[in-house]
């Protein structure tokens, strides 16, 4: 039953991120007529979750799809999630507007909405600061010091 519940959570989370990314793409498409902007929308809104894979690789030094999907974060020693960072989103937003790049603006909006959705999902615990890299760094990325982190509560 645990595996089924975990699988459903992952699928629902992924679908939400995909739908939001597609909405951002459609706004850009209707504004510009360019299908190309699907790339930054998906990169920012969906593929930033690659940091979950990076965390798993750092912890276990191997690639194991089933382990990646079903290993609960609360059993991990550290939670890095490098791309789940408001600081990076702010830096990319500033970069995109400074260089007036629609590609990077779409990427940044998608990324910000991804984090916002993740934050809302964890809002019941009022743990918005977990998505600040500096906070996780201050806690030395130690899972036990990040009590209430969204991945700790889902399982």
Tokens of 43: 């990169």
| pLDDT tens digits, 14-42 | 899 999 999 999 999 999 999 999 999 99
14-18, 69-73, 102-106, 131-135: segment of lowest average pLDDT = 69-73
Of 41-55, 57-71, 78-92, the poorest mean pLDDT is in 57-71
- Whether the pLDDT of residue 152 is over 60: the answer is no
Report which of 50, 36, 49 is spatially closest to residue 106, judged by C-alpha positions: 36
pTM: 0.85
Q: Which residues contact 95 (CB under 8 A, 6 or more apart)?
A: 101, 104
Whole-angstrom distance, CA of residue 22 vs CA of residue 7: 22
pLDDT at 113 over 60: yes
User: What's residue 61's pLDDT?
Assistant: 83
User: What is the rounded CA–CA span in Å between residue 93 and residue 53?
Assistant: 25
pLDDT at 47 over 60: yes
User: What rounded mean pLDDT belongs to the chain?
Assistant: 84
* Burial bucket for residue 43 (CB in 10 Å: 0-12, 13-18, 19+): middle
Is residue 108's pLDDT more than 90?
A: yes
Residue 6: band (very low, low, confident or very high) from pLDDT cuts 50, 70, 90 = low
- 147/83: higher pLDDT: 83
Give the pLDDT band (50/70/90) at residue 43. very high
Torsion of CA 110, 59, 68, 65, to 10 degrees: 110
The domain locations on the chain are: 2-154
């Amino acid at each position: 039953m645990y595996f089924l519940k975990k699988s459903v959570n992952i699928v629902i989370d992924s679908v939400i991120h995909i739908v939001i990314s597609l909405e951002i793409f459609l706004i850009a498409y209707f504004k510009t007529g360019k299908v190309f902007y699907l790339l930054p929308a998906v990169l920012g809104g969906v593929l930033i979750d690659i940091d979950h894979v990076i965390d798993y690789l750092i912890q276990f030094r191997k690639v194991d799809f089933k382990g990646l999907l079903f290993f609960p974060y609360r059993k991990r020693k550290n939670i890095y999630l490098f791309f789940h960072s408001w600081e990076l989103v702010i830096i990319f937003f500033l970069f995109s507007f400074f260089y007036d790049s629609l590609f990077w603006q779409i990427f940044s909006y998608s990324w910000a909405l991804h984090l916002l959705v993740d934050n809302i999902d964890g809002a019941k615990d009022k743990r918005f600061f977990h998505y600040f890299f500096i906070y996780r760094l201050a806690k030395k990325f130690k899972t036990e010091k990040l009590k209430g982190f969204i991945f700790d509560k889902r399982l």
